[in-house]
Amino acid sequence: MKSIISFVVVISFIASAIAQEESPSPPVEEKASATVEESPAASPTEHPTATSAESPAAQKKETPAATTPKKEASPAAAKVPAKKVSVEAALKDNENRWEASYAAHDVSGAQSFVANDFIGVYWDGKVMSKSGMISEIKKDKDTYKSAVNEKLSVHTYGPGIAVVVGTAREKGTGKDGKAFDRAFRFTDTWVERNGQWQCVASHVMKLKG
């Protein structure tokens, strides 16, 4: 009998142990956290807030932007005023253009360079005005191979007055079909009016041809 009771006690102890293992453990009370919840750590891509002394934006505001120094204009880069043409060069150019206009039967040379009050003595002794000279150019039927000035000499007589002495050499074929080679010595008097040189008087003599 005693052995039966002991066996029952053992069985009860085993059953109690099994029941305790299978029963869920009582929930553990969560203690209120005494610590303040920490803010999430900054991600690696985010930069911590920098002080005004360390912030690039602050440094940009405090440090003035570097300005590129202006290059000083070199003397060579400065605008060079147009060189004033000398009286001699201007009058020689006028004479050459005037002579070339004869060969081209172009009256614009005489109209541009001859003054309205012009007076001239032609190589045959005829006295002509500006209109008479233009008329002679229009009537000319010769064909010119060349017409150039030679040995031009400019003499000035005070501001705005000058005399040009030179020789005009002309080659070509006349209206009769015959070749010609002629030369004229001329003396032209020029006056500057309103910034433009105009021939006011001329004398021409034939040297050959």
- What 104-113 contacts at long range (C-beta under 8 Å, 24+ apart), as own/partner pairs, is 104/144, 105/137, 105/138, 105/140, 106/137, 107/134, 107/137, 107/138, 110/134, 110/137, 113/197, 113/198, 113/199
Which SS3 state, helix, strand or coil, does residue 200 take?
strand
Give the range of the structural domain holding residue 156, as residue numbers without chain letter: 87-208
Identify the residue with better confidence: 189 or 3: 189
Identify the residue with better confidence: 116 or 32: 116
Tens digit of each residue's pLDDT (9 = 90 or more) over 54-102:
444 444 444 444 444 454 444 443 444 445 679 999 999 999 999 999 9
Query: Is residue 199 a part of any domain in this protein?
Result: yes
- Average pLDDT rounded to a whole number, residues 25-52: 41
Tens digit of each residue's pLDDT (9 = 90 or more) over 128-187:
999 999 999 999 999 999 999 999 999 999 999 999 999 999 999 998 999 999 999 999
Query: Is residue 161 a part of any domain in this protein?
Result: yes
Residues 6+ apart with CB under 8 A from 114: 130, 133, 198, 199
Of the pLDDT bands very low, low, confident and very high (cuts 50, 70, 90), residue 13 is low
Whether the CB-CB separation of 132 and 202 falls below 8 Å is answered with: no
Whether the CB-CB separation of 114 and 97 falls below 8 Å is answered with: no
Give strand ranges (E) for the chain. 114-121, 127-128, 143-156, 161-173, 179-193, 196-208
Query: Is residue 159 a part of any domain in this protein?
Result: yes
In which residue are the tokens 């009582």 written?
Answer: 26
Which CATH number fits the domain that encloses residue 134?
3.10.450.50
- What 47-54 contacts at long range (C-beta under 8 Å, 24+ apart), as own/partner pairs, is none
Whether the CB-CB separation of 209 and 181 falls below 8 Å is answered with: yes
Query: Is residue 98 a part of any domain in this protein?
Result: yes
Strand partners, 119: 201
Query: Is residue 91 a part of any domain in this protein?
Result: yes
Q: Please tell me the total count of domains within the chain.
A: 1
Decide if pLDDT at 105 tops 80.
yes
Query: Is residue 7 a part of any domain in this protein?
Result: no
Q: Side-chain half-sphere of 61: how many Cα atoms within 13 Å?
A: 6
pLDDT for the residue 84 = 60
pLDDT for the residue 89 = 96
Query: Is residue 99 a part of any domain in this protein?
Result: yes
Query: Is residue 26 a part of any domain in this protein?
Result: no
